[in-house]
């Protein structure tokens, strides 16, 4: 898709539904290639800078393997390796890396850092996670849901827990853009940003809906997806006791899953068994979290192919 060539992906709210649909279709295609052991070598001669302020399992593994297995050269750069925002401004780092790499991935804290990189690098920047958005995770979530249901439009999805974190924000946008009926069940103190809800509601090109509840009794029985995330995000460890108190009533248990008999269970990982869900849920027959984790790779590869004009 021409509109994605040379474009950064910082948040799904910056994409049209047609662009998201294209990325999902491309993700299905590259996943099928993986299944048949195809390695087209589309990244041959290309370089990827991977900037990490935060630790990672799935994001790092997905970017590095997706790029490397098709002949590209990924370079991992942690905050201990480079001067990003320390002795050198983010803008200067962006200018330097943009002259040496074809594409940049950033995983860190401030979303403003990702925006500065994208503004000054001159090459596409992919957001591997910031405190506000996690777009590649939401794409993997949508791909997993579509694999299970066969379609996205009209599907009822539920997110339980911290309703204003980066995962919830991104899933909310992706779900409504793709026509899902999305429900967020959370404590009032951790509800989605009203400005985000208003922005999504104002998008005439978004066919889906979002509804916020504050009690698990409101979980719709027709739900086909029940999703949760950790109670304490990276960088918020000092708030563990407060978050546990707020979120304990929103734990996903077998009883909760039974309220929606058709639902699969999703979690972006890492997971804390006994907190946001019971072990019997994440390790049980309704869990699709391992498919979801694998799909990080396929959706990330699709994003990089599209941004580099190589699809």
- The residue extents of the domains of the chain are 2-134+296-307, 137-292
Tens digits of per-residue pLDDT, 106-133?
999 999 999 999 999 999 999 999 999 9
Considering the chain, what is the average pLDDT of its residues?
A: 96
| Cβ–Cβ < 8 Å for 129, 107 | yes
pLDDT of residue 134: 98
Closest CA to 106 of 185, 42, 182, 51: 51
Q: Is the pLDDT of residue 93 over 80?
A: yes
* Residue entry with tokens 């905050």: 79
Return the axis-axis angle of helices 166-177 and 17-35, rounded to nearest 10°: 100
Domain with residues 2-134+296-307, CATH architecture: 3-Layer(aba) Sandwich (3.40)
Q: What percent of the chain has pLDDT over 90?
A: 94
Q: What are phi and psi of 229, to 5 degrees?
A: -145, 170
Q: Is the pLDDT of residue 86 over 80?
A: no
Residue 5 tokens read as 């060539």
Residue 135 assigned to a binding site: yes
Residue 58 assigned to a binding site: yes
Residue 192 tokens read as 């989605």
CATH of domain 137-292: 3.40.50.1370
| Half-sphere CA count of 138, side-chain side, radius 13 A | 30
pTM (predicted TM-score): 0.97
Residue 136 assigned to a binding site: yes
Rounded Cα distance between 157 and 258, Å, is 15
Residue 292 assigned to a binding site: no
Residue 111 assigned to a binding site: no
pLDDT of residue 81: 85
Residue 83 assigned to a binding site: yes
Residue 96 tokens read as 């330097």
pLDDT of residue 80: 84
Tens digits of per-residue pLDDT, 16-61?
999 999 999 999 999 999 999 999 999 999 999 999 999 999 999 9
Q: Is the pLDDT of residue 141 over 80?
A: yes
Q: Residue 87 — pLDDT band, cuts 50, 70, 90?
A: confident
Q: Does this chain's domain 2-134+296-307 share its CATH topology with 137-292? A: yes
| Helix boundaries (H) for 129-250 | 135-149, 166-177, 194-202, 240-247
Catalytic residues: 107, 134, 137, 229, 268, 296
Q: Where are the beta strands (DSSP E) in the chain?
A: 47-52, 73-78, 103-107, 125-129, 156-160, 181-185, 209-213, 225-228, 264-267
């Amino acid at each position: 898709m021409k509109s994605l060539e040379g474009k950064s992906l910082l948040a799904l709210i910056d994409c049209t539904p047609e662009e998201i649909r294209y990325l999902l279709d491309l993700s299905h295609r590259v996943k099928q290639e993986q299944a048949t052991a195809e390695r087209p070598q589309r990244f041959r001669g290309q370089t990827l800078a991977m900037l990490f302020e935060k630790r990672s399992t799935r994001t790092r593994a997905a970017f590095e393997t997706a790029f490397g297995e098709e002949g590209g050269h990924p370079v991992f750069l942690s905050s201990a390796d480079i001067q990003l925002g320390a002795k050198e401004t983010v803008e200067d780092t962006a200018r330097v890396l943009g002259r040496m790499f074809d594409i940049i991935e950033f995983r860190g804290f401030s979303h403003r850092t990702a925006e500065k990189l994208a503004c000054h690098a001159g090459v596409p920047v992919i957001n591997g996670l910031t405190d506000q958005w996690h777009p590649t995770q939401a794409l993997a979530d949508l791909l997993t849901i579509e694999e299970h249901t066969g379609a996205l439009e009209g599907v009822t999805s539920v997110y339980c827990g911290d309703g204003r974190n980066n995962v919830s924000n991104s899933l909310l946008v992706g779900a409504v853009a793709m026509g899902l009926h999305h429900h967020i069940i959370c404590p009032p103190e951790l509800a989605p940003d009203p400005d985000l809800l208003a922005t999504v509601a104002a998008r005439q090109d978004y066919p889906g809906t979002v509804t916020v509840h504050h009690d698990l009794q409101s979980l719709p029985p027709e739900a086909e997806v029940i999703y949760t995330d950790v109670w304490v995000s990276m960088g918020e460890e000092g708030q563990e006791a407060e978050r546990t108190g707020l979120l304990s009533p929103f734990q996903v248990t077998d009883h909760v899953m039974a309220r929606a008999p058709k639902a699969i269970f999703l979690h972006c990982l890492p997971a804390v068994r006994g907190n946001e869900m019971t072990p019997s849920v994440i390790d049980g027959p309704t869990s699709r979290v391992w498919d979801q984790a694998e799909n990080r790779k396929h959706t990330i590869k699709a994003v990089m192919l599209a941004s580099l004009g190589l699809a």
